[in-house]
């Protein structure tokens, strides 16, 4: 009951922030288009037409974004790329959110040796060269859609765990936590009923900044040829493909690249906007 009311309050504050509303609107519109667009188009992402390779954007036959080097409709493929990229980024962020919050909150609340041991593990994982690690995974397990989540989640939760641990350590010294301890509330209940809800502001902001980070990583892996496999596609592999046609058909590069940039920028602005709204210190001014 209380969580819902708290979210309601935050929502009311969010609506007042134009930056948040505008960027959230853009993201929702893109996501809706990515879901609905392919259904409306007469083309499918698979269908190749070698007579119509590298067409410029045209209304004729509804090739709104033109076609690629195999004559596939770029509009549908871009929207499919948006779907895949968004799903990968959001799922990876949620994975890192859950692991990071639980891990960080436990380490921060337990303190002492438990904390030291848990955080040294995080430090060790940080020290692994990420790209090398991913290439190894890909080579060993073959390319796999799931693996991309694992790889991205595996790095992002480290940051989340550190942030949550720091917040938890300061929250557990707060008087309302002492009051709960004096009452006899169990440590688990203190952690999940008193500390976690107060972490949410920071966590939500951090997640909106993690999503674009995860998108970039995914695009980067796809660009290197380590990500999504044809005929599936993502914005990163579309850009990769576009680079090869850059001189004859620049739109094959420019359209997915602009979409990627637009989504990334929106998420970053959304994160900034959320931080302004949720961080009490910035509200005092």
Partner 1 sequence: MSLLEIRDLCIHYPGADRPAVDGLSFALAAGESVGLVGESGSGKTQTALAVLGLLPDQARVSGRMRFDGKDLAGPGAHASLRARRIGMVFQDPLAALNPYLTVAEQLGLVLRRHRLATRREARQRVIDMLERIGLPDPPRQARAYPRELSGGMRQRVMIAAALAAGPDLLIADEPTTALDVTVQAQILTLLRDLRRDTGIALLLITHDLGIVAGNCERLVVVDRGRMLETGTTKDVFARPGHARSAELLRAARDDAQKAPDMMSSERRPLLGIHGVGVRYSESGRGAIWGRRQLAAVRDLSVRLRPGETLGIVGESGSGKTSLARAVLGLVQEMSGSVSFLGRTLPARLEDRDKGLRRHLQLVFQNPGSSLNPAMTAYDCVAEPLKVHAPELAGAEQRARVMRMLERVGLDPGLEARYPHELSGGQAQRVAIARALIANPSVLICDEAVASLDATVRQGILRLLADEQRRTALAILFISHDLHVVRQFSHRVLVMYMGRLVELAETSSLFERPQHPYTRALIDSIPVVDPDVAPADASIEGEAPRMPGDLPGCAFEPRCRYAVDRCSAERPELSAGAGNRVACHRAGELELGARR
Verify binding: residue 124, partner 1, rule CB under 8 A: no
Verify binding: residue 15, partner 1, rule CB under 8 A: no
Q: Which of 41, 198, 232, 245 binds partner 1 (CB under 8 A)?
A: 198
* Least Cβ distance, residue 21 to partner 1 (angstroms): 18
Total site size for partner 1, rule CB under 8 A: 23
Would you say 7 or 136 has its CB closer to partner 1?
Answer: 7
**SS3 labels along the chain:** CHHHHHHHHHHHHHHHCHHHHHHHHHHHHHHHHHHHHHHHCCCCCCCCCHHHCCCCCCCHHHCCCCECCCCCEHHHHHHHHHHHHHHHHHHHHHHHHHHHHHHHHHHHHHCHHHHHHHHHHHHHHHHCCHHHHHHHHHHHHCCCHHHHHHHHHHHHHHHHHHHHHHHHHHHCCCHHHHHHHHHCCCHHHHHHHHHHHHHHHHHHHHHHHHHHHHHHHHHHHHHCCCCCCCCCCCHHHHHHHHHHCCCCCCHHHHHHHHHHHHHHHHHHHHHHHHHHHHCHHHHCC
Query: 196-223 and 145-171 are packed helices; what angle lies between their axes, rounded to 10 degrees?
Result: 150
Torsion of CA 160, 165, 166, 167, to 10 degrees: 90
* Least Cβ distance, residue 280 to partner 1 (angstroms): 9
CB under 8 A: which stretch of 81-89, 117-125, 134-142, 193-201 binds partner 1?
Answer: 193-201
* Least Cβ distance, residue 274 to partner 1 (angstroms): 17
* Least Cβ distance, residue 177 to partner 1 (angstroms): 8
Verify binding: residue 5, partner 1, rule CB under 8 A: yes
CB under 8 A: which stretch of 57-65, 195-203, 229-237, 248-256 binds partner 1?
Answer: 195-203
Q: Of residues 162-191, which lie at the interface with partner 1 (CB under 8 A)?
A: 174-176, 178-186
Would you say 180 or 226 has its CB closer to partner 1?
Answer: 180
Would you say 9 or 124 has its CB closer to partner 1?
Answer: 9
Verify binding: residue 12, partner 1, rule CB under 8 A: no
Would you say 127 or 182 has its CB closer to partner 1?
Answer: 182
* Least Cβ distance, residue 18 to partner 1 (angstroms): 16
Would you say 102 or 216 has its CB closer to partner 1?
Answer: 102
Binding site for partner 1 (CB under 8 A): 1-3, 5-6, 9, 174-176, 178-186, 193-194, 197-198, 200
């Amino acid at each position: 009951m209380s969580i819902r009311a708290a979210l309601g309050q935050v929502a009311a504050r969010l609506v007042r922030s134009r930056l948040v509303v505008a960027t959230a609107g853009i993201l929702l519109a893109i996501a809706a288009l990515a879901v609905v667009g392919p259904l409306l188009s007469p083309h499918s992402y698979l269908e190749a037409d070698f007579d119509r390779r590298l067409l410029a954007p045209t209304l004729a036959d509804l090739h709104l974004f033109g076609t690629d080097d195999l004559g596939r409709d770029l509009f549908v493929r871009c929207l499919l790329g948006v779907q895949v990229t968004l799903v990968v980024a959001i799922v990876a962020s949620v994975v890192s959110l859950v692991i990071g919050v639980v891990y960080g909150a436990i380490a921060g609340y337990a303190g002492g040796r438990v904390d030291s041991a848990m955080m040294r593990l995080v430090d060790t994982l940080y020290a692994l060269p990420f790209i090398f690690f991913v290439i190894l995974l890909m080579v060993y397990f073959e390319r796999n859609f799931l693996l991309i989540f694992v790889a991205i989640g595996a790095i992002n939760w480290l940051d989340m765990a550190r942030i949550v641990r720091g917040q938890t350590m300061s929250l557990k010294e707060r008087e309302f936590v002492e009051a709960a301890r004096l009452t006899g509330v169990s440590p688990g209940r203190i952690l999940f009923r008193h500390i976690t809800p107060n972490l949410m502001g920071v966590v939500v902001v951090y997640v909106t900044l993690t999503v674009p980070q995860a998108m970039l990583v995914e695009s980067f892996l796809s660009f290197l040829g380590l990500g999504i496999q044809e005929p599936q596609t993502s914005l990163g592999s579309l850009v990769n493909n576009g680079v090869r046609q850059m001189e004859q058909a620049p739109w094959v590069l420019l359209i997915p690249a602009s979409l990627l940039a637009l989504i990334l920028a929106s998420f970053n602005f959304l994160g900034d906007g959320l931080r302004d709204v949720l961080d009490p210190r910035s509200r005092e001014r």
